[in-house]
Amino acid sequence: MDKVINTDWTSLLKLFPPHWQDSLYHLDCLEIRARTGKPVQIVQSGKEIMLPIIASNQDIQHLVSAFSGSSLYAFEDELRQGYITLPGGHRVGFAGKALLDPKGHIRGLKHISTICLRIAKSVEGCADRLWRELLDAEGCPYHTLVISPPQAGKTTLLRDMARQLSDKGQRVCIIDERSEIAGCYNGRPQLDVGLRTDVLDGCPKAEGMLMALRALSPDVIVTDEIGSAEDASAIEEALNSGVRVMASAHGATYEEVAARPNLSTLLQRGLFQRVVILSNRRGPGTVEYIGGVFSRQKGELHAQHS
């Protein structure tokens, strides 16, 4: 049975302007989006609600203050990426006017007008039904690629796989470039990622993978949203050094992912032994396909998923 680890909603709620709190209290939110002058938008699994509250500029400033502990200047690096992570692993994305440095790179944001809070929820046990396909005879995981469109649960699945492998005795290293898998705050994972898990937080995937290989001697490396040429070569490096790799990639179908230049090389050379394809068809985490890369028998696992 999957256990959704709900976050401490009341303490998160305290960050919102006082007159929003009553309306938000009873809602089960995946995302909260606030835009200056527009109604507050709540995204629940599969549907959205527009609250009868118009976000004023002051409300947005209140949220920015609350999310940054009134210290926006301490989040310059994060703002350059466009988001910050809160205690509890929740992520806040911002939109506003970009500040550019003389070279034309983004230096930060000002006049923030949109706030998008994604609430972190881990679903413990969501990887349970997949292990039969994903573990070899010795109980080590195959090199696995999880393919899914946004919000279909690939990060949640990766997190649960990392947690379970780690609790079963494997040394797991998570390269968490966007602080999504472990939701680190001040370097400490805010979500349960297992006993034997090390997290390289905010670390570029390619460099992080090599760093983990050198320094942490992991059995399994877990990383999110691979795609660049550096990622591909670092994965190849890891795959060939006896470490198991579990990664995810954006895409709705196998064909979509196989069409991306860097990933296609990895897939064509058969470096990944298992592919899991997720969709939102029956709620987040619907398994569309699980199996080897070339032997694609579709359909068996559909029925098992609720």
Partner 1 sequence: MHNIANILCYALIIYGSSMMGFTIARNYAERPRQLQALLTGVQILLTEIVYAATPLSEALQNLSRSCDTIGAFFSRVAQEIDNLKPARIAWEEGLEQLQAASALLAPDIEALRALGDVIGTSDREDQQRHLLLASRRIEGLHQSAVNEAAKNERLWRYLGVLAGIVAVIIIF
> Which parts of this chain interact with partner 1 (CB under 8 A)?
14-15, 61-62, 64-66, 68-74, 76, 79, 99, 107-108, 110
**Cβ-based nearer residue to partner 1, 98 or 210:** 98
- For residue 264, which phi and psi values (nearest 5 degrees)? -60, -40
The structure tokens listed for 280 are 């939102």
- The DSSP string of 201-261 is ET--HHHHHHHHHHHT--SEEEES---SHHHHHHHHHHHTTT-EEEEEEE-SSHHHHHTSH
CA torsion through residues 70, 73, 75, 78, sign: positive
Gyration radius of the chain over CA positions? 20
> By C-beta, is 113 or 262 nearer to partner 1?
113
Q: Which is nearer to partner 1, 24 or 99 (CB)?
A: 99
Shortest Cβ distance from residue 60 to partner 1 (Å)?
A: 11
Shortest Å distance, C-beta 188 to partner 1: 16
- Of the two residues 43 and 66, which places its CB atom closer to partner 1 in the complex? 66
- d(C-alpha 147, C-alpha 92), whole Å: 24
Cβ proximity to partner 1: between 105 and 110 the closer is 110
Strands (E), 90-236: 91-100, 106-118, 122-124, 144-148, 172-176, 197-201, 220-223
State which residue, 86 or 134, has the beta carbon closest to partner 1: 86
Determine how many CB atoms are found less than 10 A away from the CB of residue 34. Answer: 24
Query: In whole angstroms, how close is the CB of 74 to partner 1 at the nearest point?
Result: 5
Closest alpha carbon to 31 in 114, 111, 154: 114
In the complex, least distance from residue 190 CB atom to partner 1, rounded to whole angstroms: 17
CB of 70 to partner 1, least distance (A): 3
Closest CB to partner 1 among residues 64, 200: 64
Sign of CA dihedral 105, 57, 151, 158: positive
State the minimum distance, in angstroms, from the CB of residue 10 to partner 1: 12
Residue with tokens 């937080």: 201
Q: What are phi and psi of 92, to 5 degrees?
A: -115, 120
Q: How far is the CB of 164 from partner 1 (least distance, A)?
A: 35
